[in-house]
Each structure stands twice: as C-alpha cells, then as structure tokens.
Amino acid sequence: MEPGPDAKSIVITGTTRGLGRALALEFGRLGHRVSGCGRSTDEVDGLNREAGGRQHHVVVNVTDPQSVADWARKCLERDGPPDLLINNAGMINRHAPLWKVPLEEFRALWEVNVIGVFNVCRAFLPAMLERGTGVIVNMSTGAGVRGFASIGPYCTTKHAVEGFTKSLAEELPEGMAAIPFQPGVVQTDMLRSHYGERAADHPTPDRWAKVAAPYLLNLSSRESGQSLRLPAVK
C-alpha cells in the first residue's frame, strides 16, 4: 500500500531478517513510510525488492557512530523525525557458561545490543526532541529481566537495554516515550539457536508481526518507561 496522508514515519534497525524484516513489511502493508537498515547488502537489496521500492533499506553497521549518523541524516531529510523508532538489531552468543565466553564475543554483543542502541538514539533524538513527539521502542526480552544459563552475555546486554530505556524515559519531555519491549517467543534464527527444534512450536515472524505492528503503532507517552510485553500470538 502506498503511504497516505496519515502515514507515520517509522525507522527500524535490523530489518534484513527475523522480527525486523517482518515488521518492516507489515508496516508497509499498513501504509506507513519505513526506513530500515541491516548489515548484508544482498539481504537489504532483497528486502527493497520485496517492498516494491516503497521502503528505504540500506546497509548500516549500528556499532559505527558515523555510519549511523549519515543514515539518520538521510532519513531525516527524506521523512522528517520518526514517529516510531525501533531499535531491533541484535545478536546472541553461542551457548557457553559465562566464564568460557571469549572476551571478543562478549564485546561484540555489547557493541551491537547496547552501543548500537545508544548510537541510533543519539542520531535521531535531537530531531525528535525539536519536534517534541515520537516513540522510541528498544527491543528487550524476558532475558532482560531475568537470567538464563548459557546465554549470560545476551542477558547482560538486554538488562542494559532495560536500564538504558527506562533512564531515557525519565529524561524525555512530556509527549514523548521510550519503551523497552519484550516481543515474546517467536520462531527466529536467534530462537532456534537457543531452543533448537522446539522453536517450531512458536509463531513465525510474519504471523507475529500481524499482531505486533498495530500494537506498536498504538504506543504513546502514556506507556513511557514501562517494560511491555506483547500479548501471546496464537
């Protein structure tokens, strides 16, 4: 569907697979303007083709502040400040006890899952603050409020996302929101790495997005600072 006069401007990181891809396509189907990013040129090109040229997805490394700043500038010039900014890009560690996780792997998770969120917020927030409206959704998970064996580094970063987002919510003016969002259990590559064959028992990203997209579009300043979880998707 072509964006109409009531279309919202939506920015999403990590749109080349999983939840980010499904959300981007569903937001587009609902008639909103979508800008996204990922790290694979082939997957970015494929998504742009699937979206029929009505969305803008580019290659961006969220751990690189200059790359993020350049991307944000182009998004803002084209569509103005986002009405909804979703920090979705993330990664999980290979299963291992914390003391056996290589430092390089722990650092990589921190760079993507936490520093990436920080970089994106820094790049888009000034324009959103100048306008005085907008909702920032930072993807969390049940691992952001409790611990799980074998994925300690992932849990650590998601706890950080919860704290970062709730702190940001305290700093935003009335009319804006920052929300840590738990999407629930969805059949993604990340879930398969943790659940194995049991991942097939859960909804696909496309089915999940049919529920998640309207839910996210309805978020407002009333929910700022609250840890929210999507109701179960059948």
Closest CA to 84 of 54, 128, 131, 115: 128
In angstroms, rounded to a whole number, what is the distance separating the alpha carbons of residues 148 and 43? 31
Closest CA to 34 of 70, 59, 67, 9: 9
Q: Which of 154, 164, 181, 208 is catalytic?
A: 154
Instruction: Check if 195 is active-site.
Output: no
In angstroms, rounded to a whole number, what is the distance separating the alpha carbons of residues 34 and 123? 17
In angstroms, rounded to a whole number, what is the distance separating the alpha carbons of residues 233 and 115? 30
Contact criterion met (CB below 8 Å) for 135 and 179: yes
> What phi-psi label fits residue 132: left (phi over 0), alpha (psi between -120 and 50 degrees) or beta?
left
DSSP character for 208? H
- DSSP helix/strand/coil, 152: helix
Calculate helix-pair angle for 152-171, 116-131, nearest 10 degrees. Answer: 20
Contact criterion met (CB below 8 Å) for 31 and 42: no
Q: Which two tokens stand for residue 223?
A: 């929910």
* Residue keyed to tokens 């082939």: 42
Q: What are the residue numbers of the active site?
A: 154
